[in-house]
Amino acid sequence: MAEIKQFGLDIEIDEATAQGNYSNLAIISHSTSEFILDFAAVMPGVQKAKVKSRIILTPEHAKRLLLSLQDNITRYESNVGKIVIPQKQQSGGYNKIGEA
C-alpha cells in the first residue's frame, strides 16, 4: 500500500489499484444529479467491450475534472507537443476516447 501526500491529504492506494486499467473508450452519461463515466477497452476483432471502471461524480466535480484535464493537457502540450486527434478512419471506427 502506497501513500501519496497531495493537497494536505494522505491518500492511500493499494497495489492493484495503482496498476490501473487501460481504456480507449469512455462513455459519459448524466442525470440531473450526477455524471457517470464508464471506461472500457475496445480490442480489434472483438465485438464486445467490458466496462473496467465506473466513476460517478456530482455535476460540480465533473466540471472540476473538466477544468483540471484542460489545465493538464495545456501543460502537457507545452512540454511535449500538440496532441493530434485522428479523423474518422476508413474502417468506420474512430481512434479516440469517447466515440466508437
The tens digit of pLDDT for each residue in 56-97 reads 999 999 999 999 999 999 999 999 999 999 887 654 454 445
Torsion sign (Cα): 84, 23, 63, 4: negative
Determine, yes or no, domain membership for 30.
Answer: yes
Q: Which of 67, 59, 66 is nearest to 31 (CA)?
A: 59
Number of domains in the chain: 1
pTM of the model: 0.74
> Given this model, what pLDDT does residue 60 score?
98
Domain housing 56: 21-80
> Given this model, what pLDDT does residue 95 score?
45
Q: Is-contact 55 61, C-beta < 8 A?
A: no
Determine, yes or no, domain membership for 68.
Answer: yes
Torsion sign (Cα): 48, 52, 57, 62: negative
Determine, yes or no, domain membership for 12.
Answer: no
Look-up: residue for cell 500538440? 82
> Given this model, what pLDDT does residue 96 score?
45
Determine, yes or no, domain membership for 39.
Answer: yes
Determine, yes or no, domain membership for 88.
Answer: no
Span 26-52, pLDDT tens digits: 999 999 999 999 999 999 999 999 999
Determine, yes or no, domain membership for 33.
Answer: yes
- C-alpha 99/C-alpha 27 separation (Å) is 8
> Given this model, what pLDDT does residue 15 score?
94
